[in-house]
């Protein structure tokens, strides 16, 4: 028998449209608020380059560049600030397709994901960005002047920070996949050595070719993977306990 509460395909599309509109509205509102403080944002994002030992000059090479860098910085800030709204709307859209035991974790998903996004962006700003800038500017030290387009520089910064934020979503993905039954701690442990190799390669690509820089990148990623195993272990146990409780309740109701 069909579930009377089940939505049709067109109703799903309508719900998706409204959730996308809500996400866009949140991003636009936070972007506008960030644009009001655009000068401060530019100072904040250019500080890692201007504080290097090698002199760096950031230049606006085209007429609209000053406006565009303010817009880029504001949009990135708007995306980060609106991320809890976006995550909430995305989760609420896919939640009906989850198992009943996995539906009541909306707040946990939003809080976990927002925390690790901010933590990842902070790690990118405080660790990855300074290391990469030191490496690239040192390559041409004494041979060329470091005169960068501020638009190209800011695009690089935005890519670096958002990429770091996405990488730090690994524990959240582990949490979600464990709750819906697609991931187990046994599986994560089985592929740990492959993950280690992948993390070391990833760290070598993104960081300067010295062991210390690669260590700063690889160690947090390894800790994230181990944290993902720990999270998967905790919530797979909770899932099993809940399933056993549901089975016991069902048996008791049948006996009565």
Q: How many CA atoms lie within 13 A of 16 on its CB side?
A: 8
Higher-confidence residue of 190 and 248: namely 190
Per-residue pLDDT reduced to its tens digit, 9-51: 778 788 889 999 999 999 999 999 999 999 999 999 999 988 8
Virtual CA dihedral for 31, 113, 172, 117, nearest 10 degrees?
Answer: 60
Burial environment of residue 94 by CB neighbours within 10 A (0 to 12, 13 to 18, 19 or more): exposed
Cβ neighbour number for residue 147 with a 10 Å cutoff: 11
CA 216/CA 157 separation, integer angstroms: 18
- How is residue 198 written in tokens? 């992948």
Which of 154, 136, 127, 156 is closest to 58 using CA atoms? 154
Q: What is the mean pLDDT of residues 108-133?
A: 87
The proportion of the chain whose per-residue pLDDT surpasses 90, expressed as a percent, equals 21
pTM confidence score: 0.76
């Amino acid at each position: 028998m069909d579930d009377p509460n089940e939505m049709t395909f067109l109703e799903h599309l309508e719900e998706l449209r409204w959730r996308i509109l809500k996400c866009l509205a949140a991003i636009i509102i936070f972007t506008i608020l960030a644009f009001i403080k655009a000068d401060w944002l530019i100072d904040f994002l250019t500080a890692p380059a201007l504080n290097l030992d090698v002199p760096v000059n950031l230049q606006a090479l085209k007429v609209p560049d000053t406006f565009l860098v303010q817009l880029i910085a504001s949009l990135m800030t708007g995306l980060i600030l609106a991320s809890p709204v976006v995550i909430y709307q995305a989760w609420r859209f896919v939640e009906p397709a989850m198992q009943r035991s996995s539906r009541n974790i909306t707040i946990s998903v939003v809080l976990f994901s927002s925390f690790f996004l901010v933590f990842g962006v902070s790690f990118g700003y405080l660790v990855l960005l300074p290391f990469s800038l030191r490496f690239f500017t040192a390559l041409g030290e004494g041979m060329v002047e470091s005169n960068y387009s501020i638009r190209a520089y800011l695009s690089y910064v935005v890519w670096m920070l958002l990429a770091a934020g996405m990488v730090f979503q690994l524990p959240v993905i582990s949490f979600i996949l464990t709750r819906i039954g697609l991931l187990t701690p046994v599986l994560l442990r089985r592929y740990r050595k492959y993950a280690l190799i992948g993390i070391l390669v990833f760290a070598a690509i993104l960081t300067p070719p010295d062991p210390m820089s690669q260590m700063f990148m690889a160690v947090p990623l390894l800790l994230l993977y181990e944290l993902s195993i720990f999270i998967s272990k905790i919530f797979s146990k909770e899932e099993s306990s809940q399933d056993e409780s549901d089975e016991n309740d069902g048996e008791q109701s049948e006996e009565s």
